[in-house]
Amino acid sequence: MIISGHQPCYLPWLGYFHKFSLCDKFVYMDTVQYLENDWNNRNKIKTPQGSHWLTVPIDRKKTKGNKLNEIIIHGYEDPEAKDFWQNTHWKTILANYKKSTWFHLYEDGLYEMYQEIIWERLVDLCWHQFLFFLKFLELESAEIIRMSEMKFDGEKDKLVLDQCLKLNGDAVVFGMHGKDYVDASLFNNEKINLYFQNYIHPTYKQRFNYFESNLSVLDLLLNNGADSKNIMLDKNVTKELLVTGKYWTNP
């Protein structure tokens, strides 16, 4: 049983979904600490001038904690405001992707996301997007466990270890930076195998001049449609390869 997980992210990048594709159970870590200037509330798309940040504004006054499920989005109470962020993001997406080959395939869902639903909590927006992208990437086989609905203890590697123990995992997938903080002996003692993701980013068809990597998965989907899953996984470790055991990194 392979376990993995990640905190909610706004318009996640390709590596987020590759990580999901490697596991049997994925912990959606919606009660960990919100990270300032990280990927929880922002990501990049492509414009004729290069990459462009789309950032969801956070309301510091209304937010009464620092956990992701406590973060309140600024402006939800006044969606008619000229600078309402949902309108701004939608117009920016339209301006840069309306002429993309596969925009029509996702337009209705994106319109609903930005123009029909008013988002108050960041975690609800990210959850909605997470399920939206999983559907269109055809990555719905792993079981998803929301951390807010199950009791896990510890922090960082100890938190992940507790997830493995409670979910009967015998292997775990960390992000590439996991090597910076994971004490492998904790997992070795429990006979839990480790894999640190090393995502190889593909080059794919985009609009506007030279290729830009590490953008939101939105860029891949709108430009490549049904081919997006294969493009995203190309030249990367698969779940089928992981279970052979040759990629585990335990000493």
The tens digit of pLDDT for each residue in 205-219 reads 999 989 999 999 999
pLDDT score, position 10? 98
Is the separation of the CB atoms in 204 and 220 below 8 Å?
yes
Dihedral, 116, 215, 12, 7 alpha carbons, nearest 10: -140
Q: Confidence class of residue 16 from pLDDT cuts 50, 70 and 90? A: very high
Mean pLDDT, residues 18-47 taken together? 96
Residues 6+ apart with CB under 8 A from 250: 184, 187, 188, 193, 194
pLDDT at 202 over 60: yes
**Checking DSSP bridges between strand 193-196 and strand 171-174, what pairing results, if any?**
parallel
Lookup: tokens for 169: 């995992």
**Pick from 113, 134, 122: nearest CA to 19:** 134
φ and ψ at residue 165, rounded to 5 degrees:
-65, -40
Chain CA centroid to CA 8, Å: 6
Residue type for 224, please?
N
* Residue 246: band (very low, low, confident or very high) from pLDDT cuts 50, 70, 90: confident
Looking from the CA of 22 toward its CB, the CA atoms found within 13 Å total 32
Is residue 250's pLDDT more than 80?
no
Residue 37, exposed/middle/buried by CB under 10 A (0-12, 13-18, 19+)? exposed
Confidence band for 36, pLDDT divided at 50, 70 and 90: confident
The pLDDT of 211-232, averaged and rounded, is: 97
What value does the mean pLDDT of the chain take? Answer: 95
- Give residue 251's pLDDT band: very low, low, confident or very high (50, 70, 90): low
The Cα 26–Cα 29 span in angstroms is 9
157-197 pLDDT, tens digit each: 999 999 999 999 999 999 988 888 899 999 999 999 999 99
Q: How many CB atoms lie within 10 A of CB 91?
A: 11
